[in-house]
């Protein structure tokens, strides 16, 4: 285990934050999950417990290990609980103002000046978040992929201020979680989303124009290109609001038309049709 990072905090207990907290707890780390309030914290606990239960059912984890992992987790509605953490990973909504506010608050709350503040942002500038603190050299991007307990990749993104020892520490931390690291410069989309999101947006435009149905677009890429999941199913899994936010961030930075979110995607977000998490996106799902 990375000797320097033993106590971890995760801000945000949604799909991504819960997944990050789960892999930390399964690795034996003392982990606190902070949500907006006690009700949301309880929902985050249920989310992690359900994921651990599925791992047990699939034979990927024994029941005792699952119970131990859940026992290492504390769920709270107060950021003050993160004061003694060695590493805090922010995993809140993909909104620059919200994330900046979280980083400014964490900078005041986390007591150890050597503690690392990391963001799980999909596309926003790490520099902006670092500059909201007095420790920009200890701020880094640590981008996990959904579902976190399954996908082995983590992107590590350093800003112009991030210290080399900060990068080394989070790479060591990611290795203890069993993750493979790729490094990226602090540019919108980093490596994966800069390649992936234009592909997803092209699929949205194809469905929007009536060129092909969502089902046929997905079948074409699954059966014709051996992709494990078609682009519109993948967009639904990521969350159409998140896809739109990443697209907007890419377009703001590069001003390339292929990065602009299509009107259909924007309307679906406005309508609350966000994919799997709401039960309906480009496809319909049994659970909201």
Q: Which two tokens mark 141?
A: 């991007």
The rounded distance, in Å, linking the Cα atoms of 33 and 16 is 12
Single out the catalytic residue among 122, 158, 159, 184.
122
Single out the catalytic residue among 94, 143, 158, 184.
143
Q: Which two tokens mark 192?
A: 């994966």
Q: Which residues pair with 119 in a beta bridge?
A: 90, 141
Respond yes or no: is residue 155 known to be catalytic. Answer: yes
Identify the three-state secondary structure at position 112: coil
Which of the 8 DSSP states describes residue 159?
-
Single out the catalytic residue among 2, 51, 123, 193.
193
Q: What is the DSSP string of 168-188?
A: HHHHHHHHHTT-EEEEEESST
Single out the catalytic residue among 155, 159, 161, 249.
155
The rounded distance, in Å, linking the Cα atoms of 80 and 78 is 5
Q: Are strands 116-119 and 73-76 parallel, antiparallel or unpaired?
A: unpaired
Distant-in-sequence, close-in-space partners of 165: CB < 8 Å, separation ≥ 6:
none
Distant-in-sequence, close-in-space partners of 228: CB < 8 Å, separation ≥ 6:
222
Biggest CA pair distance of the chain: 56
Q: Are strands 116-119 and 180-185 parallel, antiparallel or unpaired?
A: unpaired
Respond yes or no: is residue 193 known to be catalytic. Answer: yes
Respond yes or no: is residue 122 known to be catalytic. Answer: yes
Which of the 8 DSSP states describes residue 13?
-
Identify the three-state secondary structure at position 59: coil
Contact 243, 200 (CB under 8 A): yes
Active site members: 122, 143, 155, 193
């Amino acid at each position: 285990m990375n000797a320097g990072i033993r106590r971890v905090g995760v801000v945000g207990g949604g799909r991504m934050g819960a997944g990050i907290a789960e892999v930390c707890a399964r690795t034996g780390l003392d982990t606190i999950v902070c949500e907006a309030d006690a009700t949301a914290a309880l929902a985050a606990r249920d989310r992690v417990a359900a994921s651990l239960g599925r791992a047990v059912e699939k034979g990927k984890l024994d029941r005792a290990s699952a119970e131990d992992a859940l026992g290492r987790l504390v769920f709270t509605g107060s950021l003050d609980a993160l004061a003694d953490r060695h590493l805090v990973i922010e995993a809140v909504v993909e909104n620059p103002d919200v994330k900046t506010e979280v980083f400014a608050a964490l900078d005041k709350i986390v007591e150890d000046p050597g503690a690392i503040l990391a963001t799980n942002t999909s596309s926003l500038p790490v520099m902006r978040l670092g500059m909201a603190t007095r420790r920009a050299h200890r701020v880094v991007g640590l981008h996990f992929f959904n579902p976190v307990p399954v996908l082995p990749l983590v992107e590590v993104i350093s800003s112009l201020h991030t210290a080399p020892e900060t990068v080394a520490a989070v790479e060591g931390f990611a290795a203890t979680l069993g993750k493979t690291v790729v490094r990226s410069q602090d540019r919108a989309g980093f490596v994966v989303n800069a390649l992936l999101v234009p592909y997803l947006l092209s699929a949205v435009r194809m469905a929007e124009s009536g060129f092909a149905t969502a089902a046929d677009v997905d079948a074409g890429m699954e059966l014709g290109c051996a992709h494990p999941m078609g682009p519109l199913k993948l967009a639904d899994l990521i969350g159409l609001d998140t896809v739109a936010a990443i697209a907007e961030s890419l377009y703001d930075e590069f001003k390339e038309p292929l990065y602009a979110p299509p009107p259909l995607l924007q309307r679906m977000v406005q309508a609350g049709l966000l994919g799997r998490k709401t039960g309906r996106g480009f496809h319909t799902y049994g659970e909201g």
